[in-house]
Amino acid sequence: MSKAVKEIVTNDIAKRLAGVEDCVVANMIGLNSEKTAALRRRLREKKIGVVVIKNSLVRRATEGTALAPAFEGLSGTAAVLYGGEDFISLVKEVTELDKDESFGKFKARGGVMDGEALNAEAVLAISKWPNRGEQLSLLIGQILGPGGRLNSQLTSVGGKLASQIEKVGEQEG
């Protein structure tokens, strides 16, 4: 590949990854065309972008960015996965694909989160964290729990008082 072509490809990759802060690096080499198309379709449905590129070119494209640590020490061709609802959702989807036997050659190799390089084990550990939606539901539960308890305590006293007034009214009537 000539220097001019490398420069064009590097600039294209830099444009695609502009604004991306977190990513997962995976291996897709060895998948046939049908499985690759099915994998890309599944990722596209989840709004996850995929770029398969030679590591030396992606290193040049991400030099000086938050993504640069993800490619230190990697060799060969890698798939860069980015996007999704949030980073945890991205990692969960990649981990599911990693376990799926129909995509046997697909393996997570690492990534970067908040400028810190991740290895494959760290990606697996992060997949067990709650994603944004799960965190919001936990927070709402913690907020509504005490309010519900207070509501039941207030209404139970009012209910007892109402039943006592009703009994007194029946006795007099």
Tell me if 99 sits within 8 A of 52, measured CB to CB: no
How far is it, in rounded angstroms, from Cα 160 to Cα 164? 6
Q: Could you tell me where the beta strands, DSSP code E, fall in the chain?
A: 23-27, 48-54, 77-83, 107-113, 116-119
Same domain, 56 and 113: yes
Given pLDDT bands bounded at 50, 70 and 90, which one contains residue 173?
low
Residue with tokens 């006592």: 164
Higher per-residue confidence, 154 vs 60 = 60
Q: Is the pLDDT of residue 41 over 90?
A: yes
Same domain, 94 and 150: no
Q: Could you tell me where the beta strands, DSSP code E, fall in 65-171?
A: 77-83, 107-113, 116-119
Same domain, 79 and 26: yes
What is the percentage of the chain residues whose pLDDT exceeds 90? Answer: 19
The whole-chain average pLDDT of the chain stands at 86
Residue 44, pLDDT score: 93
Same domain, 151 and 97: no
CATH number of the domain residue 84 falls in: 3.30.70.1730
> Where in the sequence is the domain holding 116, given as residue range(s)?
3-129
How far is it, in rounded angstroms, from Cα 17 to Cα 81? 10
| Span 48-67, pLDDT tens digits | 999 998 888 888 888 888 88
| Span 9-31, pLDDT tens digits | 888 888 888 888 899 999 988 88
Same domain, 30 and 58: yes
Q: Is the pLDDT of residue 156 over 90?
A: no
Same domain, 54 and 26: yes
Same domain, 118 and 141: no
Q: Give pTM, 2 decimals.
A: 0.74
Write the CA distances from 144 to 52, 64, 132, integer angstroms.
45, 45, 18
Same domain, 125 and 135: no
Q: How many domains does the chain have?
A: 2
